[in-house]
Chains A and B, each alone.
Chain A
Amino acid sequence: MLNPYHTAINVPKVLEIQNRQYQEAIPLEQEVPASSQVDAAVQITSVGNFMLMSMTGSFTTKYLDEQDPADDGICRMFVQLLDGSNQRPLFDDFIAANLFLSPGRVRAVAGLGDPSDQLYLEYPFVYTFPQNGQILVRIRNTATFANTLRIMFKGIRIFAANRQG
């Protein structure tokens, strides 16, 4: 049997490129107390630059119904994305997490509310974070109960030592 991939892929060339850059996913998880705002950050480290290509993620939708925690599916988490190395905003303002995160809402209380009904589509977002920088995520929770936000940053790590100019 002819394996077309065997002839189509130049393995030494691929390995050579891979030694300079490779795909990487960087996770972030942050719980935000009720009616408050926190800065969460992931470090790019000194390994190399990180070219962000897309994001996925989820969030909870809890609130306090009188004295009891409840979950109605309404997103009360708002996010502003920034380049932490120079404080450059990448979102103009705080944006509701339900707009750019899939699968999006996850149930926090068993049996309550609808599932997210979200398509599992990545949110494309291209930006290069320099080595030793950070992805800064400013999260505002307007709910009367603590909520959790999770984001997976998917991109390409570019070794600083092997970068081309």
Chain B
Amino acid sequence: MALTPVPELIKEAKTFPLLYGLYEQLITEPIRFDSAQEAQAHSYSYGIRIDLSGRAGVQTWTITPPNDYHYFLEGIRVFYPEDTVNANTLSIEVEQPERGRLVTLAQIAIPVLTTPGELRPKKYMVRLNTLFGPTMNCVIKIRGQDGTRPAYVDLMSEGLLIPAAGLKPKGLEPWQ
């Protein structure tokens, strides 16, 4: 009999109390500098500007946390100038290949309005709240509806870099 797969969100929820605990300590108690250093979990961001002008097909950006660190990806910030004269749609897909299959964590459609001559920056935030293990890849794909794109897309990750040794309850990897 085939096992019923556990929804990904339930697996990942196990890691939340640890992270919430960190924040709760910072908020409700006087901050203890030494303990903050001991935890050594801190914000960390990845970023890239992808040139899209005149290109067709999918552009890919890969984030790989360093060895011995987890990366709790809170979200992806997306920014692009509205400088195209044709209506178009961009989509952002975030995947974790190491889970055995490509899991699409987010897929959003970003409308590009048609206002030639005016540059109006658009800013979006894709909330993910997903934990990546050491050397796990977070693959972000920028997919356009057709070959007409904005000139560029800026991408930036919001997240926490967490020492792997600090997140192994009962011998399990945090995402297990």
**Can you name the residue of chain A whose Cβ is closest to the Cβ of B23?**
A126
Q: Closest Cβ of chain B: how far from A23's Cβ, in Å?
A: 11
B-side interface size class: 20 to 34
Q: Is the CB of A158 within 8 A of B121?
A: no
Q: Is the CB of B47 within 8 A of A93?
A: yes
Task: Give B18-45 as 1s and 0s: 1 = Cβ < 8 Å from A's Cβ atoms.
Answer: 0000000010001111111100001111
B81 partner, pick from A73, A78, A158, A160, beta carbons under 8 A: A73
Q: Given that A73-B81, A74-B81 are contacting pairs, would A99 and B119 also be in contact in the complex, using a CB cutoff of 8 Å?
A: no
Contacts of A164 in B (CB 8 A): 30, 32-34
Q: Given that A96-B79, A99-B156 are contacting pairs, would A128 and B123 also be in contact in the complex, using a CB cutoff of 8 Å?
A: no
Q: Is the CB of B34 within 8 A of A163?
A: yes
Contacts of B120 in A (CB 8 A): 114, 117
Within 8 A of B (CB), among A64-90: 72-75, 78, 81, 90
Q: Does B141 make an interface contact (CB < 8 A)?
A: no
What separation, in Å, do the CA atoms of A107 and B58 have in the docked complex? 34
Q: Closest Cβ of chain A: how far from B26's Cβ, in Å?
A: 8
Q: Does A5 make an interface contact (CB < 8 A)?
A: no
Q: Does A120 make an interface contact (CB < 8 A)?
A: no
Q: Is the CB of B123 within 8 A of A114?
A: no
Contacts of B32 in A (CB 8 A): 163-165
What separation, in Å, do the CA atoms of A165 and B31 have in the docked complex? 10
Q: Is the CB of B47 within 8 A of A114?
A: no
Contacts of A49 in B (CB 8 A): 33
Within 8 A of B (CB), among A115-142: 116-119, 123-128
Q: Is the CB of A72 within 8 A of B154?
A: no
Q: Is the CB of B47 within 8 A of A98?
A: no
Q: Does A146 make an interface contact (CB < 8 A)?
A: no
Q: Closest Cβ of chain A: how far from B75's Cβ, in Å?
A: 10
Q: Closest Cβ of chain B: how far from A113's Cβ, in Å?
A: 7
- Top 8 A-B pairs ranked by shortest CB distance? A95-B47, A99-B156, A165-B34, A92-B46, A125-B43, A96-B154, A127-B42, A163-B33
Q: Can you list 30 A-B contacts with CB-CB less than 8 angstroms, sorted by A residue number?
A: A72-B119, A78-B49, A90-B42, A91-B44, A91-B46, A92-B44, A92-B45, A93-B47, A94-B47, A95-B45, A96-B154, A98-B79, A98-B154, A100-B45, A104-B121, A113-B119, A114-B118, A114-B120, A123-B158, A125-B43, A125-B45, A127-B42, A127-B43, A128-B36, A128-B37, A164-B30, A164-B33, A164-B34, A165-B34, A165-B35
